[in-house]
Amino acid sequence: QIQDLTFLIKSYCLTELYLNNNDLTDISGALKHLSALQILLLHNNQLKKLSKTVKELKGMISLQTLNLFHNPLAQDLDYRLYVIHFLPSVQLLDRKPVTQRERESALHLYNHKRSRVVQSIAFGKRVNTPLGTAVGSIRYTQPSRRLMMPSDNMHFLCSFCRVPFENPEDAILLRAMTRSLMEFSCIDWNKVPTCQERRLENKAEEPHEKLTVQFR
């Protein structure tokens, strides 16, 4: 039946804290100093304000396991994605592992501009989702925007111009549409005869099998 956490103010070195099945309604100012905490169980309490609760836990850079289920705040819209985005170190939330898809959806939902940059540049992978198409919640869906090219072509070609577009997002769109083409080829050298073998066999050399893959 714990309701107050002031007794934890001087406990700086805790790595595990089990406060489940109590009557906590607010943890503001009681846990933020526990930067070494790795496991925190707060399920089955009366925590109501999601933003205040998450704000209290933001300084816990080592926090990996967190339980908040069976609290009123767990009924909030997009509760799980909110926690995943603002507490990125958490790997196990409410007894369920945090997936990469959930992290991407959380980024798209709560940091839409950065999500679009990551989606458009896409270093090291191919992106099949058209730009402007929402990945997460439909509240952030935006219609595709027409690319506004600079009126002066020489100004556009000038490499010294820091912002050749009126809107920086237009530069990102153009970069996405004109990505460099990378080509990788591989060949099984065990099937390629040496110079000596070619001289001894004295027959026409068969074309080699070469696998080529292109990435844009």
How much is the pLDDT for 132?
A: 47
How much is the pLDDT for 8?
A: 87
Tokens of 171: 């530069």
How much is the pLDDT for 45?
A: 94
User: In this structure, is residue 165 part of a structural domain?
Assistant: no
How much is the pLDDT for 93?
A: 95
Element (H, E) at 186: strand 182-187
The whole-model pTM stands at 0.54
Tokens of 57: 């836990």
Residue 93: which domain range? 6-113
For residue 10, what are the contacts with CB-CB under 8 A and spacing of at least 6? Answer: none
> How many separate domains does the chain show?
2
Q: Residue 65: what are its φ and ψ, rounded to 5°?
A: -120, 125
Positions of the chain with pLDDT lower than 50, given as ranges: 123-127, 129-145, 147, 152-163
Among residues 82, 113, 144, which one ends one of the domains? 113
Among residues 92, 113, 134, which one ends one of the domains? 113
User: In this structure, is residue 149 part of a structural domain?
Assistant: no
Among residues 113, 132, 164, which one ends one of the domains? 113
